[in-house]
Amino acid sequence: MTDHSKNTDLAEYKVVRSTPASRTGTIIGLILLVILVSLPSWGDRATIRLFVEIFYILALAQMWNLLAGYGGLVSVGQQAFVGLGGYMLFIITIHYGVGAIWAIPLSGLICAFISLPIAFLVFRLRGHYFAIGTWVVSEVFLLGFAQIPSLGGGSGKSLPITIVKSISDSRDGRDATIYWTALFVAVATIAIIYILLRSRHGLALTAIRDSEEASNSLGVNNFKAKLLVYIFAAFGTAAIGALIFLTKLRISPSAAFDINWTTTVIFIVVIGGIGTIEGPILGTIIYFLLREPLSDFGTWYLILLGATAVIVMLKAPHGIWGIITERFDLRFFPVQRRLKLKTDK
């Protein structure tokens, strides 16, 4: 085959990034976003609080999915950054007078710097040792913050009423402000991760996840790529942690560094579909659909969640969204590049 014929054949193809589902999903997503933005004007207080929780759990799940599903860093200690973010918010609002809403991204930024020495420590470990190491780090923070009297020690501390009122003078105003902040955090988390995964850094992460040896042979700096995603996940998780404890108005070491923050998002990502953006969204919906009617059953509720996770892992290793993708080729957030004939629609 001549060079001219090769060029002619290549000219018949095009690289596509979007799919019909993604274009339809964009329209549906914008309509849904308008409805969600307007919710404080027609929803009751309980509904607003439920959606705030949905938003920050979804954002946490997306961060863990980025770390484990794309970076290959399976951490069971992300509650360390949830707690750090919460405590940073209390410190900089109470002791330094920073506004509560502005303290959310600032808390994330501070914790991103703190995560750098932690990364160099835990990155010496591999596989399940890495996972255990991250949990140990979170326990160290739990014990450490329990010894700080100015932050309430082991019993915890509440936000002063002056800081609470600085958000808004009225309860409805505070609820609406925190709701819109949580909605922004959830949407921004998904958008930033989507943009990241469509970039060359996202391609590097995917290559590392599939095979570290192969990615290294192609010139990818595995350590640098993993370090950057770890620091970014720390920033995002800490900012979300700050938001969480701003909504609760009180923090304690046992609540801040509770391993349930991580086990919940692992459950969500596993049943939804790890390594996809859609998976944590679907997993969050399933989690709250199971939790709301079954939470009153105590231990049986936890047993049901565990049984659900085991069944999904056995029957659908790639999660429920993985089954949907295989059967219907449905991708609302396509990150791969596809080669298609120009004649195809």
Q: What is the domain partition of the chain in residue ranges?
A: 3-341
Of the candidates 142, 159, 141, the residue with the CA atom closest to the CA atom of residue 253: 142
Which residue in the block uniquely carries the two structure tokens 């360390």?
A: 80
Rounded distance between C-alpha atoms, residue 50 and residue 37, angstroms: 14
Residues 6+ apart with CB under 8 A from 165: none
Sign for the pseudo-dihedral over CA of 213, 263, 328, 15? negative
In percent, how much of the chain has pLDDT > 90?
A: 63
pLDDT at 14: 62
Which residue in the block uniquely carries the two structure tokens 């999660």?
A: 319
pLDDT at 335: 75
With residue 241 as reference, give the H or E element that holds it.
helix 222-248
Mean pLDDT of 94-111: 95
Tally Cβ neighbours within 10 Å of residue 18: 12
pLDDT at 53: 96
pLDDT in tens, 107-118: 999 999 999 999
Mean pLDDT of 326-345: 70
Q: Looking at domain 3-341, which of 3.40.50, 3.30.70, 1.10.260, 1.10.3470 is its CATH number?
A: 1.10.3470
pLDDT at 16: 63
pLDDT band at 294 (very low <50, low <70, confident <90, very high): confident
CA triple 238-243-244, angle to 5 deg: 95
Least confident range from 2-6, 228-232, 312-316: namely 2-6
How confident is the prediction for the chain on average, in pLDDT? 88
DSSP reduced 3-state for 344: coil
62 contacts 189 by C-beta, under 8 angstroms: yes
DSSP reduced 3-state for 338: strand
Residues 6+ apart with CB under 8 A from 21: 330, 331, 332
40 contacts 175 by C-beta, under 8 angstroms: yes
From residue 126, alpha-carbon distances to 77, 129, 237 in Å are 15, 5, 22
- What pTM does this model have? 0.91
More confident site: 227 or 330 = 227
pLDDT band at 62 (very low <50, low <70, confident <90, very high): very high
pLDDT at 136: 95
pLDDT band at 216 (very low <50, low <70, confident <90, very high): confident
**b/e 221-259 (16+ beta carbons within 10 angstroms → b):** ebeebbbbbbbbbbbbbbbbbbbbbbbeeebbbebbbbe
Rounded distance between C-alpha atoms, residue 317 and residue 132, angstroms: 23
